[in-house]
Amino acid sequence: MNKNLSWKLAVIFGFLLLCVAGIFGPPWAWSGRSPLALVTDHIHLGLDLRGGTHLILQVQVNDAVNVDSDNALARLKEDLRTHKINYADIAKPDPVNHPEMIVVKGVPPDQTSDFKNIIPAEYDASSGAENSWTVSMKAQGLADLKNRAVAQAIETIRNRIDQLGVSEPVIQEHGLGQYQILVQLPGVDDPARVKEIMQSTAMLEIKQSLGGPYSSEQAALQEHGGVLPPDAVLMSGKSIGSKRDTENGEAWYIISRASAVTGRDLRTAEPATDENSQPAVRFILTAEGGRKFYAFTSAHVGDYLAVVLDNKVQEVAVIKEAIHDTGVINGRFTEQETQDLSMTLRSGALPAGIKYLEERTVGPSLGADSIRSGVRAAMVGMLAVLIFMLIYYRWAGVNADIALILNLVILLGFMGYFGAVLTLPGIAGVILTVGMGVDSNVLIFERIREELRNGKTPPSAVEQGFGHAWITIVDTHVTTIVSAAILFLFGTGPVKGFATTLVFGLLANLFTAVFVSRMIFDWVLSRKQRGEALSI
């Protein structure tokens, strides 16, 4: 064997060892574990194979925008008063479609510059007809706020899922839609429980209560002559002394839109008991939240304070004195409920509501079935190809078969290193890689045969065969890889797994079908006498 060949052989073996380590991990970590366990440590199985729950959620980012603009509106109103700027009306005209928009009507023209000065920094004001002004959040700030809401929702959901003890959960932004989150929980086949944990948005807000309790919405409206104060909303809650979960136990309150503090100002929350020894949740605010709360309560001594959880009034209490940083939520909870509520409050409130768009659950038995049939199909397909190559190309077929097996080892090694996920279509991708990978060998071998027919000597036929076929092989691989790459960008879950295996498989094939196969030919040729025929 000449020097060039041994050098190539060393490269191939080194690469092969690396790939084996990619599949099974480094040998020093093998101690006493079954090969199968080692493989699944490194090549992760997709949800469709191991069973689990897959959810896509829509974050209703407008909720977060509304929270921000409600507070801006309250600030603006306060500033209008302190700067003695006259106005006829201030309101959000369309909180559903344009939550970022506040309209102020009737600002006298001579106070325009004063008015412009009090616009919050993250808002823009543009004038309209009849001295009205539209105050809207700046586009950049609005986009940031929405993206932040999604990021925060992901963080919150992750905190909550972590408490479930799921291994390898995927919680990430779902790139295919806008403001969507993908949640994948391997091994969890009880989505109801997961959703229960996630859905408890536990959006805590402490707001001023402007009136109530009323027995019905109509009663509340009547009290105010049929119209609500502009910066207030009607909210339902439980009336004091009623039983839980009964329709007629409902009471209505008029609550200010702006919040004194929200769940984001919370440092911690824990189960406790209130002054009547009933289960309650005690919370402690952050330093910043405490300052805000102190400022608010000291300005509103004697007014009523409402603790609002997920847009339901939990309790209303009079502010007896300025409060610094602790409070108690008292809502006739059971002990279990105070524990759950403390947990969701601690893990952070979702900044916005969520809506489920897609739910898939694969039971473990189906996954096991899929693995069985996928592996069976792969075995049959691979054997058929290996045997065909042996019959059709004889010794050269052995060459192709070696290259093919190496191709698979490298493919799996890549997957191990890149932490790729093997799905059922991914297994199909492995089989297809075998079928498409062997194409390269066929292209080369057919060309060699053609050159031999044209009277070339074996070494020159091999040289020509590889030379001519190389460009064709690159072209064919590029087109398939382009398709697979587009599939990778657009696909989710199982389909992504397919695209991954196909791309890795074809890349590995460039190495095995050309470099490895060529080396084997060179080695065979180096052992042959001049003029001896090539078995192909």
Point out which span in 235-243, 250-258, 259-267, 387-395 binds other proteins (CB under 8 A). Answer: 387-395
Helix (H/G/I), strand (E/B), else coil: 225:
coil
Tell me the closest approach of the beta carbon of residue 526 to other proteins, in angstroms: 22
**Is 53 or 314 the residue whose CB approaches other proteins more closely?**
53
The three state secondary structure string of 107-150 is: CCHHHHHHHHHCCCCCEEEEECCCCCEEEEECHHHHHHHHHHHH
**Is 116 or 376 the residue whose CB approaches other proteins more closely?**
376
Listed in sequence order, the residues at least 6 apart from 374 whose beta carbon sits closer than 8 Å to its beta carbon are 49, 424, 427, 428
Among 103, 408, 443, 461, binds other proteins (CB under 8 A): 443
Beta carbons of 174 and 182 less than 8 angstroms apart: yes
**Is 88 or 380 the residue whose CB approaches other proteins more closely?**
380
Dihedral angle sign, alpha carbons of residues 207, 212, 216, 220: negative
56-95 positions binding other proteins, by CB under 8 A: 56, 58
Among 79, 250, 274, 358, binds other proteins (CB under 8 A): 358
**Is 249 or 381 the residue whose CB approaches other proteins more closely?**
381
If one asks whether residue 260 binds other proteins (CB under 8 A), the answer comes out as: no
**Is 123 or 504 the residue whose CB approaches other proteins more closely?**
504
Among 81, 193, 244, 324, binds other proteins (CB under 8 A): 193
Q: How many residues does the chain have?
A: 536
Tell me the closest approach of the beta carbon of residue 360 to other proteins, in angstroms: 5
Tell me the closest approach of the beta carbon of residue 307 to other proteins, in angstroms: 27
Beta carbons of 512 and 406 less than 8 angstroms apart: yes
**Radius of gyration, CA atoms only, the chain:** 34
Dihedral angle sign, alpha carbons of residues 227, 230, 232, 236: positive
If one asks whether residue 460 binds other proteins (CB under 8 A), the answer comes out as: no
If one asks whether residue 450 binds other proteins (CB under 8 A), the answer comes out as: yes
If one asks whether residue 391 binds other proteins (CB under 8 A), the answer comes out as: yes
Point out which span in 301-309, 311-319, 433-441, 508-516 binds other proteins (CB under 8 A). Answer: 433-441
**Is 318 or 489 the residue whose CB approaches other proteins more closely?**
489
CB atoms inside a 10 Å sphere around CB 261: 24
Beta carbons of 435 and 385 less than 8 angstroms apart: yes
Among 434, 448, 513, 520, binds other proteins (CB under 8 A): 434
If one asks whether residue 435 binds other proteins (CB under 8 A), the answer comes out as: yes
Among 197, 381, 457, 511, binds other proteins (CB under 8 A): 381
Tell me the closest approach of the beta carbon of residue 26 to other proteins, in angstroms: 30
Tell me the closest approach of the beta carbon of residue 383 to other proteins, in angstroms: 9
Among 382, 403, 408, 420, binds other proteins (CB under 8 A): 382
Tell me the closest approach of the beta carbon of residue 139 to other proteins, in angstroms: 24
Binding mask 195-224 for other proteins (x = CB under 8 A): x-----------------------------
Listed in sequence order, the residues at least 6 apart from 196 whose beta carbon sits closer than 8 Å to its beta carbon are none
If one asks whether residue 5 binds other proteins (CB under 8 A), the answer comes out as: no
Binding mask 472-511 for other proteins (x = CB under 8 A): x--xx-xxxxxxx-xx-xxxx-xx--xx--x---------
Report the C-alpha gap between 456 and 121 in whole angstroms: 81
146-185 positions binding other proteins, by CB under 8 A: 176-177
CA distances from 137 to 62, 210, 320, 485 (A): 12, 27, 36, 38
**Is 229 or 364 the residue whose CB approaches other proteins more closely?**
364
**Is 128 or 363 the residue whose CB approaches other proteins more closely?**
363
**Is 30 or 395 the residue whose CB approaches other proteins more closely?**
395
If one asks whether residue 36 binds other proteins (CB under 8 A), the answer comes out as: no
Among 41, 122, 250, 446, binds other proteins (CB under 8 A): 446
**Is 104 or 499 the residue whose CB approaches other proteins more closely?**
499
Report the C-alpha gap between 391 and 388 in whole angstroms: 5
Report the C-alpha gap between 383 and 517 in whole angstroms: 19
Burial 393-413 (b: 16+ CB within 10 A, else e): beebbbbbbebbebbbbbbbb
Point out which span in 97-105, 211-219, 262-270, 440-448 binds other proteins (CB under 8 A). Answer: 440-448
**Is 92 or 447 the residue whose CB approaches other proteins more closely?**
447
Query: Which tokens sit at 109?
Result: 């023209």
Backbone angles phi, psi at 169, to 5 degrees: -75, 150
Concatenated DSSP letters for 48-59?
Answer: HHH-EEEEEEEE
Residue 207's H or E segment, with its range, is strand 204-214
Listed in sequence order, the residues at least 6 apart from 202 whose beta carbon sits closer than 8 Å to its beta carbon are 263, 309, 310, 341, 344, 345, 349, 350
If one asks whether residue 286 binds other proteins (CB under 8 A), the answer comes out as: no
Beta carbons of 404 and 438 less than 8 angstroms apart: yes
